[in-house]
C-alpha cells in the first residue's frame, strides 16, 4: 500500500508525542484488528483505525448539514447579522432557531467563505470565538459535519 494522507480524528501518541485531532499524518498500512500504521515527522506508530481518516475529507452534503440545522444553505433573509469584522468574518443568528453561524473567510492564494455552525463556546468575545473556529481545518469541519 502506498502511503496516503490522513488526519487524526482523536488524540493519539506518535513517537512519544500526544497529537491532537486535526493533525495531518501519513497512513502507511492497514493492519488486522482495526489498526493502521501511521507516520508523523518520521515517527511510526500503530493506532486504532477509528483515530484517523483519509484526507481530504469530502464536504458534507446539504442534507447532512440540514440534519444538524435546517437553516444551512438558506438565503440572507433567514439570518440576522450579529457581528462583522471587516471582510474577515461575520456572525449570524438564524431567525428560525436562534443558532449562531460563523461566516469565515479562509484560504491563502485563493480565498473562500465557509458557513460554520457554532456548536460550542458562545463567548461574549466573538473575536475569540472566531479565532477558535478559524483554526479548525476544513477536514475537521467536514468530519464534524458543521460547515457549508
Domain boundaries, the chain: 4-54, 62-144
Query: What pTM was computed for the model?
Result: 0.84
d(CA 122, CA 109): 30
CA-CA-CA-CA torsion sign (91, 120, 22, 31): negative
CA distance 23 to 145: 18
| 85-89, 98-102, 120-124: segment of lowest average pLDDT | 120-124
Q: In the predicted model, is pLDDT for residue 116 greater than 90?
A: yes
Cβ–Cβ < 8 Å for 138, 114: yes
Instruction: Summarize the confidence of residues 105-118 as an average pLDDT.
Output: 94
Position 124 scores a pLDDT of 75
Greater pLDDT, 1 or 28: 28
- Please report which confidence band the pLDDT of residue 126 belongs to, taking 50, 70 and 90 as the band edges: very high
The CATH topology of domain 4-54 is SH3 type barrels. (2.30.30)
Q: Quick one: pLDDT band at residue 108, thresholds 50, 70, 90?
A: confident
Judge contact between 18 and 34, C-beta under 8 A: no
Query: pLDDT above 70 covers what percent of the chain?
Result: 99
CA proximity to 69, closest of 117, 110, 107, 112? 117
pLDDT of amino acid 1: 72
Q: By C-alpha distance, which of 93, 109, 106, 89 is closest to 140?
A: 106
Amino acid at each position: 500500500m502506498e502511503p496516503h494522507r490522513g488526519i487524526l480524528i482523536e488524540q493519539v501518541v506518535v513517537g512519544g508525542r500526544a497529537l491532537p485531532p486535526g493533525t495531518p499524518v501519513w497512513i502507511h498500512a492497514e493492519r488486522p484488528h482495526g489498526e493502521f500504521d501511521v507516520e508523523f515527522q518520521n515517527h511510526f506508530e500503530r493506532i486504532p483505525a477509528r483515530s484517523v481518516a483519509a484526507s481530504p475529507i469530502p464536504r458534507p452534503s446539504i442534507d447532512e448539514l440540514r440534519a444538524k440545522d435546517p437553516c444551512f444553505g438558506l438565503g440572507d433573509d433567514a439570518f440576522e447579522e450579529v457581528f462583522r469584522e471587516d471582510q474577515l468574518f461575520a456572525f449570524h443568528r438564524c431567525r428560525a432557531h436562534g443558532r449562531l453561524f460563523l461566516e469565515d473567510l479562509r484560504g491563502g492564494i485563493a480565498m473562500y467563505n465557509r458557513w460554520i455552525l457554532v456548536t460550542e463556546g458562545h463567548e461574549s468575545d466573538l473575536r475569540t470565538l472566531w479565532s477558535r473556529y478559524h483554526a479548525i481545518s476544513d477536514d475537521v469541519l467536514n468530519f464534524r459535519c458543521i460547515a457549508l
